[in-house]
Amino acid sequence: MSSLQVEELCVAYGKIQALRGISLQVPSGRICALVGANGAGKTTALNAICGLRPLVGGRVLLDGRDIAAVPPHDRVTLGLVQVPEGRRIFGRLTVAENLAMGAFRRRAMRSELQADLDEVLTLFPRLRERMAQLSGTLSGGEQQMLAMGRAMMAKPSLLLLDEPSMGLAPRLVDQIFETVTAINRLGVTVLLVEQNAFMALEIAETAYVLQSGEVVLSGTGAALIDSEAVQEAYLG
């Protein structure tokens, strides 16, 4: 399990300041939620943490190590793995091939990879039935399961999830959030970005509310659910 510390993170798109010095901590072994409305900067924050967006200022510390200069693919090797918004699976590859791609950068024995695959298929039993199917023909819920399963094949110690419930039916949303908690119980630290604030705060031990590129509230998930300001702004 890894811990994450973000200090005074600043990101800009040209002259537009997308993140204005945000700071947050994700303790080892915890689920942390980052919630906010569309355009608040949630995805930008994850991409900056993963190295997909350059920093204007601030630091990203993984287990106390500053990784701001570490390339994105090497951050994966360090255990920092993202499930991107929109899933971004390889639609022309089979489910089995997508899962194998998740382990592309790992140097592990075949037996270890098989054990990890078995663990993924236990988390997502529906994928076991679809292993030979082209991923582009899966339902939206199945594609989200595949995206999460592919990330787990990279053996993350810190998993970043970007809007895992987006576009899913309510029944599948419940299932996805149950799986997030199951992944955490396996020993993976989780940073969860969600517009569905209520669901995210229910499972998060710590949480941050992002608004216009700034952290405006933070606390335990339970405390933020009970916050009148959060309820009015995000929960209705």
Return the pLDDT at 202: 93
pLDDT value at residue 169: 85
Residue 71: name the closest of 27, 105, 24 by CA. Answer: 105
Q: What is the pLDDT of residue 205?
A: 95
The contacts of residue 3 (CB under 8 Å, 6+ apart) are 25, 26, 27, 28, 62, 63, 64, 158, 189
Beta pairing class for 214-219 and 206-211: antiparallel
Q: What's residue 106's pLDDT?
A: 78
Of 141, 205, 210, 134, the closest CA to residue 171 belongs to 141
DSSP H stretches of helix in 153-195: 170-185
What local confidence, expressed as pLDDT, does residue 234 receive? 62
Domains within the chain, CATH numbers bracketed: 4-79+157-235 (3.40.50.300), 91-155 (no CATH)
Give the contacts of 69 (CB within 8 A, at least 6 positions apart).
none
Those residues whose C-beta lies under 8 Å from the C-beta of residue 201, and which sit 6 or more positions away, are: 33, 35, 207, 221, 222, 224, 225, 230
pTM: 0.92
pLDDT tens, position by position, for the chain (236 residues)? 789 999 999 999 998 999 999 999 999 999 999 998 888 899 999 999 999 999 999 999 999 999 999 999 999 999 999 999 888 999 999 999 999 999 988 777 788 899 999 999 999 999 999 999 999 999 999 999 999 999 999 999 999 999 999 888 888 899 999 999 999 999 999 999 987 888 899 999 999 999 899 999 999 999 998 888 777 666 54
Residue 230: its pLDDT value, please?
75
Whole-number Å distance between alpha carbons of 90 and 96: 11
Please give the order of strands across the beta sheet that includes 189-194.
80-83, 158-162, 189-194, 31-35, 206-211, 214-219
| Eight-state DSSP code of residue 137 | G
Residues in the chain: 236
Q: How far apart are CA 11 and CA 199, in angstroms?
A: 28
Report the pLDDT value the prediction gives residue 37, as an integer from 0 to 100: 84
